[in-house]
Every structure is written in structure tokens, then in C-alpha cells.
Structure 1
Amino acid sequence: MTPSVTIVIPTYNRARVLPQAIEAALGQSHPETTVLVVDDGSTDETGDVIARYAAHPRFSGVRLAANVGTAQAKNVGIALSDAEAITFHDSDDVPHRDKVMRQARVIGNETIGAHPCLNWRLSGREPETPIQVGAVLTHHELILPDGERVEIRRTLSLVDDFFPNLQMAAGVPGDWTHVNSGLFHRSVFDRLGGFSDCIEEDREFRNRLIMAGEVLWVIPEILLTKIESPDGLTMQGETDYDSPRRIADRKRVWDAVARWFATREVEAVPMDLSMVRIRSCTNPALVDRAALAQLAMRPERVA
């Protein structure tokens, strides 16, 4: 059975590039795909872009009353989605037309089992039993601001925070973008919670999946183009890879890995949306009505 999918696009002041991401998401070949844009309190023309797609039957756009950050915007998407699987595209991502279909067919494949040649008990599973894939990742390409094209195919570096000794000659270090391409089965959020409120949220969530023994499947093909813009988080001085803020968040991520090595315990990250309020929503029939009502009724946050 191929699951239904929500493509969540968190965005903040990216009205210039957002239409391309929405068009690519709406153009996915998987027929049971809806697109949910979470406008994280933008002050540019993002609202006008959302309004442009308001009549589309597979599109919903929510506007938050205040900026809460990418991680919380993703958590809003999780809370509002009623689909069986969820993926997160940046506002400058251009997925291959069949990306979501390819991923959804793996998530929905009920014939995948734990082959006895692997040590499945280490991840809490018995050999020759069915496996529910928790996340399906893909290779992708990265277009840098100077026009350089980088292919991200280094599946091994999924475990760079666990075994950095395996990453020699890997080129660009890290693999945060692998998980950014992922399609996640709804159940992983039920078990492990949402995204941690930091700018290394993808990396932290990837590590939590690995530590909890979730099954990660990688499609070894480039199914997504990521376009790095000068105004993106990874390019801005306050949030780039060498910024004090990101270095501090990275330390938190590494500390969690160290605790896991010592205890083998994984803590879920509850989605605390108590400070989040939705100001408006187009096509509310496409989202979880109870979650929408709860987030919309909260008093507006005062900065």
C-alpha cells in the first residue's frame, strides 16, 4: 500500500523563490500528495504567494502569528498533517517529479523483512520478521551561490557524528542534507517526537532515528536539487556552519550522542507548541481540524 504524503514547506521571507518550490511539490507524480506551506511569520510578500495557490485542491497555507524558527515550523506541519508519511522541503528545493512516489513506495512496502545475515537484535528486531521502514532518504545535488554543482552521494556519512573516523576523503564534511531529503513514516514522530528547537534540527533528528534503531532506507539516486541562496540559513553569518550559534547547537547534538553511547537510552522530543499561534489557514479541510483549532485559538504571542 502506498501511503498518503504531506510535503511540508517551512518558509520565512523567501517569497522570491517560494513559487518554484510550491510548483515542484504540487507537480509530484504521487497522486495522494498534499502540500502544506508553513509561513513562519514572514514580513515580505509570502502571504501573497500563499494566496495565489489558495484555490488549489491539494494545497494549504498556514501563516504563523510570529517567527518561531524552522524546527518549530516543521513541528507545526507535523501537528497539522493527517497523512501517513511526511517530508520536508526547503523553500528553495526542487524535487524530481517522482521523488515522493519513489519514497512512498518503499515506506509502504510490506514485504521488507529482517534478513538473518544481519544483527537485527542490536536494533530491537528479530530476524525474519517484517520491517516498517521509518525514513527513506535520497541522494541529491546542491547548487551553490557561485554556480558550483555538488553531488551528495555519501551514504556512509549518515553516521558521521557516531563514527567520524570513517569519513576520511569524503570531501565536504557532514551529511545534514541527506535527512533533509527524507520521507518519514508517521509512526516515527509518534515514537520519537518532533524536531528539537535548534538550527541543527535535521542533524539531531537524524541521530535520534539512528539511536532509536529506526530503519533508514537510502535511494541511491539524485532525486532532489537544493539551491543554496545567499539569504539561506547556512549562508548567513549568524547561522552558518562556523557561527557561534550553530557551534553551540552542534555541541548539544554531540552531547546527546555521547549520552547514548554511555546509556543506550533515547529520549523523545515532545512538540511544545504552546507559544505558537496560527493566524490564518487556506483550505483547512486538508489539515487536522483539531490541531488547527487548538493552534488558532491561542492568544497571539507578544514579542
Structure 2
Amino acid sequence: MENPLVTIVIPAYNYQSFLPETLNSVLAQKYQNFELIVVDDGSTDKTKDVVAEFLAKDPRIKYFYQSNAGLSAARNLGIKNALGEYIQFLDADDLLSDLKLSLQVEEMETDAHIDISYTIARYFVDGNKEKLYKSINLNQDEWMPKLNGSGYEVLEMLVKQNIMPVNSALIRASSLKKVGFFDMFLKSLEDWDFWISCAFRNFYFSFLPVEEAFALIRVHKISMSQNRKKMSEYEVIVRKRIKNLIKNCSFINPGQKKMLGKSNSRHNKVILSGLIKESKPSLKECFSLIKNAGISQFLASYLKAMNDSRKSKS
């Protein structure tokens, strides 16, 4: 029996310097039954030429171009053209360990209940791949929860925070179709929003505790994850969505809904008050935050920000 096809989707925007190493990390996989889709999101550098060199040598590589529409739109175009039974997302500056696909496919072929398998992640500073860290903050603090399940257990963790970088996951394509696509409105935290959508469809998440299977994330000055203010602004938007998803969720009981709602509101208050305190938003920006968070959440967060400011001055 032939191994199932895996589709690797790589969105690329002006990352010609990183792309060859990323493509080579895919080609070096022990698992070789894959198609590799590169979506060029309107790059103005030599991304197309870089891909063309690889494409000429390997027919498994496919190239798609779109006018610049953002990371989510590029991933969505990859999803639309994917033929694999499993989907692996990989950003154009990140890498995969050589055993990642083979070990995850083996796990998911063994257990049909798994919708999403995910692995550990390791971070490295651009230019020094030999020294690996367990956190994007470049320390050895483990941050990823190791979940095996679905329902309230997964929702409880995802309401607190994201549980993995996007390239940690291998997703069953038949499951992914139930979710659809990444939200193109979100210019940050779109992966967290996507996992939340999966969890509220009662997907089964499975952490693969194997050291040889891991995602590698490059930390550099232009990486999107370094823009903290932007991430906080989008977190407010995602948390408003979470509030509505909790309200309409059919597979958790009223008590669980209440606890998730309180957790979401508490985390939102911290993020929103921090934004207000640090950025001192204009009247126009305040109206935008009210629109995204709701008036009651904004007022509670505003009062917390003012109180925190007074305490810091005393």
C-alpha cells in the first residue's frame, strides 16, 4: 500500500534569502511522498527565480503567484490546490526536522480519530541554527501544552493562549475541509484563530512526544511574531470571536461555558488594559478598540489601565 500524499504549503513574501534552506528541509524529509506548494504572495525580490531552480529539479514542487494579499490568503490558495490526504503548513523562513512528516503520518494512519497531530517546536536566532531554544523569548521555558483529546480540555487551553506554531501541526485534509480557510482579515494570530475554529468543531488534537519530530522557527528582526503591539490588537479581535463561539457551542455544558467565558474575559482585560496603558490610544483608536472588544470590556480594561498607571507612579 502506497504511503498517503502529504501537501506542504509554503507562503512566501520577499524571503528569497531564507527560502532555499526551507525548501531543502522539505526535500530532506525521510517521508518522500509529498507535493510542495509554494505560494508567492506578490514578492518583489527573486522568490520566483529561487523556486524555479528547485522546480526544474523536482516535479513535486508547484509554484503559484498571487498579488500581495497577505499570509492567510497565500495559505488559502495552497489549501485550494492541495491534493494530499494530510496538510503541513510551513512559513518560508522556518524548517522541519527530517523525521517530522514520517513520524506524524505514522501516528495519524494508526489512529483515525486524530484530526491534528502536533510536535514540539524549537527556536533559533537567524544565523545560528546550532543553538536551539524552547521559546520565542530565546530561553528554555517550555510553553506548549501537550494535549491529547478534544472538547473542553482543548478549548480551555486555547482560550488562554495559542498552543503551537503553525508548522508544528500535521492536519488531516478531510478534517480541514470542515473548517475551510484562514481568516484573511487577521494579519496576525491567524494560526491561533484557526486552531480555535478547529477546537470549536470538536477536533481531536494529539501531541506527538517524540524528540526527533519538531518544528524549527527562525527568530529575526523582520519576523511577524516580533510585532507585539500588532499581535495584542488582533488578540482583542480574536477574543471577541471566542466569546461568540463559546455562546453557540453545542458540546460543552453551561458550567463549562461560564468558566471559558470568564477565562476569555480575564485574558482580554489584561491584553486590552496593557494596550491602553502603553500606547495611550487616540479617540479614534479608542472607538476602534470599543468596536473590536465591546463597550463593557473596553471600560473595564480602561479602568484597570488607569489604576495600574497610578500604582506604577506611587
User: Which TM-score applies when normalising by structure 2?
Assistant: 0.67
**What corresponds to 1:209 in structure 2?**
198
Q: Which runs of 5+ in 2 are unaligned?
A: 136-141, 252-314
Structure 2 letter corresponding to 1:250? E
Structure 1 letter corresponding to 2:115? G
Instruction: Using CA pairs under 8 Å that are at least 6 residues apart, name the structure with larger relative contact order, 1 or 2.
Output: 1
**What corresponds to 1:43 in structure 2?**
44
**What corresponds to 1:60 in structure 2?**
62
CA contact (8 A) 1:40 1:69 kept: yes
1:146-204 deviation digits (Å, cap 9, x = unpaired): 9674215444287999547997xxxxxx4454443111111122211111111211000
Q: Which runs of 5+ in 1 are unaligned?
A: 113-130, 168-173, 267-303
**What corresponds to 1:227 in structure 2?**
218
Q: Does 1:249 align with 2:249?
A: no
CA distance in 2, matches of 1:225, 1:165: 21
1:26-74 deviation digits (Å, cap 9, x = unpaired): 111112112111110000111110111122121112122x101000100
**What corresponds to 2:182 in structure 1?**
195
4+ residue segments displaced more than 6 Å: 157-161, 164-167
Q: Which has the larger radius of gyration?
A: 2
How many percent identity over aligned positions? Answer: 24
Alignment of 1:128-207 (within 5 A): 131-144=112-125, 149-151=132-134, 153-156=142-145, 163=156, 174-175=161-162, 177-197=164-184, 198=186, 199-207=188-196
Q: Does 1:218 align with 2:207?
A: yes
Aligned to 2:145, what secondary structure does the other structure show? helix
Alignment of 1:13-92 (within 5 A): 13-55=14-56, 56-64=58-66, 66-92=67-93
CA distance in 1, matches of 2:68, 2:158: 38
Aligned positions, number: 233
CA contact (8 A) 2:154 2:199 kept: no
For residues 229 and 155 of structure 1, do their structure 2 counterparts lie closer, same or farther at Cα, with a shift above 3 Å needed? closer
More helix by share: 2
CA distance in 1, matches of 2:158, 2:183: 26
Q: Does 1:264 align with 2:253?
A: no
1:115-150 deviation digits (Å, cap 9, x = unpaired): xxxxxxxxxxxxxxxx43111110010114596742
For residues 31 and 162 of structure 1, do their structure 2 counterparts lie closer, same or farther at Cα, with a shift above 3 Å needed? closer
Aligned to 1:217, what secondary structure does the other structure show? strand
CA distance in 1, matches of 2:99, 2:33: 13
For residues 216 and 83 of structure 1, do their structure 2 counterparts lie closer, same or farther at Cα, with a shift above 3 Å needed? same
CA distance in 2, matches of 1:43, 1:20: 19
Structure 2 letter corresponding to 1:104? V
CA distance in 2, matches of 1:34, 1:231: 28
CA contact (8 A) 1:157 1:175 kept: no
CA distance in 2, matches of 1:146, 1:14: 15
CA distance in 2, matches of 1:146, 1:47: 23
CA distance in 1, matches of 2:48, 2:24: 16
Structure 2 letter corresponding to 1:200? L
For residues 21 and 188 of structure 1, do their structure 2 counterparts lie closer, same or farther at Cα, with a shift above 3 Å needed? same
CA distance in 2, matches of 1:164, 1:217: 14
For residues 145 and 29 of structure 1, do their structure 2 counterparts lie closer, same or farther at Cα, with a shift above 3 Å needed? closer
For residues 247 and 154 of structure 1, do their structure 2 counterparts lie closer, same or farther at Cα, with a shift above 3 Å needed? closer
**How far has the Cα of 1:209 moved from its partner?**
1.2
CA distance in 2, matches of 1:61, 1:177: 27
Structure 2 letter corresponding to 1:107? M
CA distance in 2, matches of 1:218, 1:162: 15
